[in-house]
Structure 1
Amino acid sequence: MAERFRHVAIVGKHQAPGIRPVLEEIAQFLCSSGLEVSLEADTALNTGLTGYEALSNEQLGRQCDLAVVVGGDGTMLGFAREMAHYGVPLLGINQGRLGFITDIPTERWRESLAPVLAGDYEMESRAMLEGAVLRDGESIYSALALNDVVVSRGATAGMVELKVSVGDQFVANMRADGLIVASPTGSTAYSLSAGGPLLHPSIGGWLMVPIAPHTLSNRPIVLPDVGEVRMEIVAGRDASVNFDMQSLASLLHGDTITVRRSKHQVKFVHPQGWSYYATLRRKLRWYL
């Protein structure tokens, strides 16, 4: 049996209709199981839930030893980046559509959560990306990403041209609608839509996937997650970069986006018997 949890944070997609009763039921269930319960401050404010201490992300990171995230993968992505600095493990209850990283269905949260609280669970660590934008050699923006770093063309412009290097080796000048550098977790996100392969989360690698490349021989590449990927803006107007859901627009020619493995990881808690392949079967509808 794994270590039992003592202080649980609850985070919810507070914009979702009907989420308050679900959060309230989960909070009551946790309290009745003898755990201390706190709410993420925005969740408490926007749902009107009372009776539980509302804490900032920093306070949650320092005080809690488990966070229950109720929502979709977007909710999980945002909160995972916040908790990565503190190493708080996350358990996802899916109220979204796909739910690759919020893998417990809403209708089964009680039967899934009970054994976890009793110490019967699996812990999994996922690698993160650390990206920055350099202008004239100085960093003007930096962020963490669990899924991917995406450089995209401007909304009204044609293609963007990127000079791509991996480590100290030049790869190519790529002309495309954009370029994705994805972690194994991100291989089921935008990268998959752009034709990239799936990577098992235990693999120490990244994907580099061009979006609608001008040259059809520009294909997805699997890279080792060591060193640094550099993408310099050579041509194209109003290019932007996204670190998961964090954006920086209006990049200039000569700006360089760097991506490397972060020292931080995200920890996910799964019910005993969880299977990555079962998740793929269910979410991608690989039925017999």
Structure 2
Amino acid sequence: MSSPHPLPQRFAIGYHPTMAEAPLVAEAVQQFLERQGYAVVICAPLPSLRQHLQAGQADVLIALGGDGTMLRAGHVCAPLHIPVLGINLGRFGFLMEVRQDEWPRRLPLLLSGQYWLEERMMLTASHLRGEQVLGEWSVLNEVVVCRGQIVRPVRLTATVDGYPLSTYIADGLIVATPTGSTAYALAVGGPIMPPELRSILIVAVAPHLSMDRAVILPPESVVTVTVQSSHQAVMSVDGQPPLPLENDDVVRVQANHNTVQFIRFQDRGYFYRNINAYMELNPAAMDNE
């Protein structure tokens, strides 16, 4: 483990708003910290914490939930440079650092500075219609451009730095971070990328007579995906509800200047140990977290 980090003094505890046990565990964590003498401990459902965090009221966010909770925490904390510690209350918890039954043993490591920060790359996705930017989002896992409710492949043209890459006839196209390489991209046969890499992954979903190999790009690359379809296409960022796309709409993806900082106690080889264990699980069959 690397040398100790600065000792956090102010804590925010954000929990999944619909998990029945989450408020109880959050209250127990809050009481633990207060018994250690920490006077500033903000505890609330994660969506309610944004203003407190933006006001600089916390040095660390402790996120209680599953991987979806960790994604949402990362989106809030990345631009504020606030590190996130995940306590897993879900079933999968690939991004989480601490199991529910072990947080009383792990939190003292955080309080004594015995942790390291794992920085994970983010992307920026923009939706363009002609010269107009209709929306822009930060991305921790992936942005997906895919077919809508009509069960037919869509035609998508991808470029890299303005140069043609390929035209895909497919159910969709995923542009992912290394973090996202173990999410949807893995499910469609993409490569597993270590989380500390700074690379952009492109992989097609069910390509038909199209490029069926994943492409890994350097972080300086700018990827555009242009919709060329006579029927509905949509885009989704980090699993959020899909947004409709029109023919000739463009989704532009490039590296985000922010990174997410995850607090880790395990040694840096944890990822390779965990990937084997988690590959035996089926997160698609589990509850949404």
Decide: shared fold, TM above 0.5: yes
Cα offset for 1:19? 2.0
Instruction: Please give the alpha-carbon distance, in whole angstroms, between the structure 1 residues aligned to 2:49 and 2:80.
Output: 13
**AA of the residue aligned to 1:38:** I
SS in 1 for 2:79: coil
Asked if the contact 1:103–1:279 (Cα under 8 Å) also holds between the matched residues in 2, the reply is no
**Residues 139 and 238 of structure 2 are in contact (CA less than 8 Å); yes or no, is this contact kept in structure 1?**
yes
- The alignment-based identity, stated in percent, is 32
Task: Tell me the SS of whatever aligns to 1:63.
Answer: coil
Offset of residue 174 of structure 1: 0.5
C-alpha spacing 1:116/1:38, structure 2 compared with 1 (3 Å): same
Residue 81 (structure 1) aligns with: 75
Q: Following superposition, which runs of at least 4 residues in structure 1 exceed 4 angstroms of deviation? A: none
Q: Which runs of 5+ in 1 are unaligned?
A: 45-54
Q: Match of 1:280, as an amino acid?
A: I
Among residues 180, 192, 195, which one is paired with 1:198 in the alignment? 192
The aligned length equals 275
| CA shift in 2, pair 1:247/1:217, >3 Å | same
SS of 1:114's equivalent in the other structure is: helix
Structure 1 position 280 matched with structure 2 position 275: yes
- Give CA-to-partner distance per residue, 1:74-105, whole Å, 9 cap, x none: 01111211111101000001111221211211
User: Paired residue for 1:261?
Assistant: 255
1:228 to 222, 225, 232: 222
Task: Report the Cα distance in structure 1 between the residues aligned to 2:104 and 2:230, rounded to whole angstroms.
Answer: 51
Any idea what SS the aligned residue of 1:107 has?
coil
What is the CA–CA distance in structure 1 between the aligned matches of 2:180 and 2:229, rounded to whole Å?
27
Q: Is structure 2 residue 32 aligned with structure 1 residue 29?
A: yes
Q: Any residues of structure 2 matched to 1:115-154 within 5 Å, and which?
A: 115-154=109-148
Query: Is 1:60 equivalent to 2:48 in the alignment?
Result: no
CA contact (8 A) 2:170 2:210 kept: no
Give 5+ residue unaligned stretches, structure 2.
Answer: 282-289
* Root-mean-square deviation (Å): 1.7
Whole-Å Cα distance in 2 between the matches of residues 215 and 108 of structure 1?
49
Q: CA deviation at 1:181?
A: 0.5
How many angstroms apart in 1 are the aligned matches of 2:273 and 2:153?
38
Per the alignment, residue 42 of structure 2 pairs with: 38
- Residue 201 of structure 1, CA deviation: 1.4
Contact 1:240 1:247 in 2 (8 A): no
Any idea what SS the aligned residue of 2:80 has? coil
Preserved CA contact (<8 Å) 2:73 2:84? no
1:249: how far off? 2.4
Q: Distance in 2 between matches of 1:56 and 1:111?
A: 25
Q: Would you say the 8 A contact 1:71–1:96 is kept in 2?
A: yes
| Residue identity opposite 2:207 in structure 1 | P
TM-score, normalised on structure 1? Answer: 0.91
Letter of the structure 1 residue corresponding to residue 256 of structure 2: S
Number of the residue aligned with 1:174: 168
**What's the secondary structure of 1:199's corresponding residue?**
coil
CA distance in 2, matches of 1:236, 1:97: 40
Map residues 239-254 of structure 1 onto 2, 5 A cutoff.
239-254=233-248
